[in-house]
Amino acid sequence: MADTLLIIEDEKLLGAELQRYFRRQGWEVEWTRTLRDSEQLLQQGLDPLVVLSDMSLPDGNCLDLLETARRQGMGGEWVILTGYGSVPDSVRALRLGAFDFLEKPCEHDRLQLVISGAARSASAQRRLREQANEQTRRYRLDAFAGHSSAAQTVRDMLRKLAAVPFTALVISGETGTGKGLAARILHHAGPRAAGPLVEINCAALPRELLESELFGHEAGAFTGARGRRRGLMEQAGGGTLFLDEITELDLDLQAKLLKAIEDRRIRRIGGDREIAIDIQIIAATNQDLQQRIQAGEFRPDLYHRLGVFQLQLPQLRTRKEDLRDLVPLFSAEFNIKAGKQVRVIPDAVWAQLETHSWPGNVRELRNVVERCVLFSSGEQFPAEWLQLEAGFTAAAGRQGPQLEGDRLCLPLDGSMALDDMDRHIISVALKHSGFNVTAAARALGTTRETLRYRIQKYGLKPTD
């Protein structure tokens, strides 16, 4: 499909000549002679890639229409033609974002060169707008899926936070609970959505590189610093800086970060001037910050500065009813990516999914669904590729099986499947008997043959 060029020219001969010329160049050309007709076309949905307009028209100055278009968020580049140049008009045109300002008469080769440059610029801007719109659609407030009360509470909190211009926020929760997703939702649904979202994992870089990444550096600031580099805090200006794994920052770097947040100014490494920054900061951690503070590993003043608002994300094992929302959602996503058609999820699959303890939370679930969809051969969700880990994995902060003398206490909160309980009971009995099968069978009130069958079934060995 050809790109659209809107020509606004009241001179009949020149307008017709430009229309013929650019149609031969492959453009879809619309030609109007007045500002009124041009405005009607734009209001009706015409989205020209480039507008080529005469400055002075019978019903006004084209810069008034350009200003209206920019105010209404219309894209496209504008090239202005004028029979007599004036400094005020040229200054106003450039201030409004016109691509170029040319005097008549202008040779076709020169005009074609300028229009081509304007088309490239407008195409790049259009791609960026489409990407931004896609991100906005992807990270809507309901992107945190689930019908459980825990999921609903998180969505309500996200909705409230997205409606206020907060400066700092801490998102906490176990690994894989969706802290990154929550941060992206808050950015794209909030008042800074038009600005950049800059993300950094504080655990992924050594301390020396991390400081340079955050604050930037000047040429020659250290060995290997061959040129000036803008830091991530500077790059996030007008938008959001997402600091994942915030507890991995060294204490001295925490102090520098605190000062930057308080002063809203930074200084590049090796620089001699301060740079103003306008950002909101979202920090995420899977650690207990209060414990880290008590251990002297996290600054309490930084904690209180970042913790203007706090959002705690629930573990998947505490909201297993949301599996019925998440599994179809992930299946549809990977169906599109892999060209698959998995639509039917058997009851046997649901049984395994709902009895698993999900120590890796939603991230683990997403990986499981991806594997199953990729290896599927039809519409049915393949149970053989679930490959869920056998046995119980105790999650941080929760009570697993407890041994008290000769008594073994097991949780009945859904975190252990029946087979997991059976395996654990047999494993403890064997350990207490020194892997003497006869003694263990006697303690469990069963026969040696039954116990040997269970040992073989669960693959238990003396080292277990």
What is the per-residue DSSP string for 408-431? EE---SSSS-HHHHHHHHHHHHHH
Lowest mean pLDDT among 341-345, 370-374, 376-380, 400-404: 400-404
Mean pLDDT in the chain? 87
Mean per-residue pLDDT, 213-227 = 83
User: What are the angstrom distances between the C-alpha of 289 and each of 100, 147, 172, 183, 395?
Assistant: 54, 29, 9, 18, 18
Mean per-residue pLDDT, 358-373 = 92
Mean per-residue pLDDT, 2-8 = 88
Q: Taking 90 as the threshold, does the pLDDT of residue 393 lie above it?
A: no
Q: Taking 90 as the threshold, does the pLDDT of residue 300 lie above it?
A: yes
Q: Sorting pLDDT into bands at 50, 70 and 90, what band is 399?
A: low
The interaxial angle of helices 418-432 and 448-458, nearest 10 deg, is 120
Please tell me the pTM assigned to this model. Answer: 0.64
Residue 149: both structure tokens together: 């009360």
User: How far is it, in rounded angstroms, from Cα 316 to Cα 286?
Assistant: 14
Under 8 Å between Cβ of 440 and 421: no
Residue 353 confidence (pLDDT): 94
Residue 226: both structure tokens together: 């061959």
Cβ neighbour number for residue 137 with a 10 Å cutoff: 10
User: How far is it, in rounded angstroms, from Cα 429 to Cα 394?
Assistant: 19
Q: Which of 155-159, 209-213, 451-455 has the highest mean pLDDT?
A: 155-159
Q: Where in the chain is the domain with CATH 3.40.50.300?
A: 146-312
Q: Which residues contact 208 (CB under 8 A, 6 or more apart)?
A: none
Lowest mean pLDDT among 83-97, 226-240, 365-379: 83-97
Q: Residue written as tokens 């405005």?
A: 39
**SS3 annotation, the chain:** CCCEEEEECCCHHHHHHHHHHHHHCCCEEEEECCHHHHHHHHHCCCCCCEEEEECEECCEEHHHHHHHHHHCCCCCEEEEEECCCCHHHHHHHHHCCCCEEEECCCCHHHHHHHHHHHHHHHHHHHHHHHHHHHHHHHCCHHHCCCCCHHHHHHHHHHHHHHCCCCCEEEEECCCCCCHHHHHHHHHHHCCCCCCCEEEEECCCCCHHHHHHHHHEECCCCCCCCCCCEECHHHHCCCCEEEEECHHHCCHHHHHHHHHHHHHCEECCECCCCCEECCCEEEEEECCCHHHHHHCCCCCHHHHHHHCCEEEECCCHHHCHHHHHHHHHHHHHHHHHHHCCCCCECCHHHHHHHHHCCCCCHHHHHHHHHHHHHHCCCCCECCHHHCCCCCCCCCCCCCCCCEEECCEEECCCCCCCCHHHHHHHHHHHHHHHCCCCHHHHHHHHCCCHHHHHHHHHHHCCCCCC
Q: Where in the chain is the domain with CATH 1.10.10?
A: 402-458
Residue 392 confidence (pLDDT): 38
User: What are the angstrom distances between the C-alpha of 454 and each of 323, 391, 429?
Assistant: 30, 14, 12
Q: Which of 100-109, 243-252, 398-407, 429-438 has the highest mean pLDDT?
A: 243-252
Under 8 Å between Cβ of 430 and 440: yes
Please, what sign has the CA dihedral across residues 247, 253, 255, 260? Answer: negative
Mean per-residue pLDDT, 135-160 = 89
Q: What is the pLDDT of residues 285-298, one digit of tens each?
A: 998 899 899 989 99
Phi/psi region, residue 358 (left: phi>0; alpha: psi -120 to 50; beta: rest), is: left
Mean per-residue pLDDT, 117-137 = 80
Q: What is the pLDDT of residues 424-445, one digit of tens each?
A: 888 888 888 888 888 888 888 8
Under 8 Å between Cβ of 189 and 162: yes
Task: Tell me the CATH number of domain 146-312, given options 3.40.50.10330, 3.40.50.2300, 3.40.50.300, 3.40.50.9100.
Answer: 3.40.50.300
Q: Sorting pLDDT into bands at 50, 70 and 90, what band is 305?
A: very high
Q: Where in the chain is the domain with CATH 1.10.8.60?
A: 316-385
Q: Sorting pLDDT into bands at 50, 70 and 90, what band is 396?
A: very low
Residue 95 confidence (pLDDT): 84
Please, what sign has the CA dihedral across residues 376, 378, 384, 388? Answer: positive
> Which CATH number applies to 402-458?
1.10.10
Residue 52 confidence (pLDDT): 94
Residue 227 confidence (pLDDT): 81
- Does the domain at 4-135 match CATH 3.40.50.2300? Answer given as yes
The CA angle 209-215-219, to the nearest 5 degrees, is 75
Residue 71 confidence (pLDDT): 86
Residue 398 confidence (pLDDT): 44
Q: Sorting pLDDT into bands at 50, 70 and 90, what band is 415?
A: low
Residue 94: both structure tokens together: 């450039």
Q: Sorting pLDDT into bands at 50, 70 and 90, what band is 115?
A: very high
Q: Taking 90 as the threshold, does the pLDDT of residue 134 lie above it?
A: no
Lowest mean pLDDT among 76-90, 92-106, 266-280, 407-421: 407-421
Instruction: Please tell me what DSSP assigns to residue 344.
Output: B
Residue 93 confidence (pLDDT): 82
What fold characterizes domain 316-385? Helicase, Ruva Protein; domain 3 (1.10.8)
Residue 266 confidence (pLDDT): 93
Q: Where in the chain is the domain with CATH 3.40.50.2300?
A: 4-135
Kind and range of the H or E run holding 395: none
Phi/psi region, residue 217 (left: phi>0; alpha: psi -120 to 50; beta: rest), is: beta
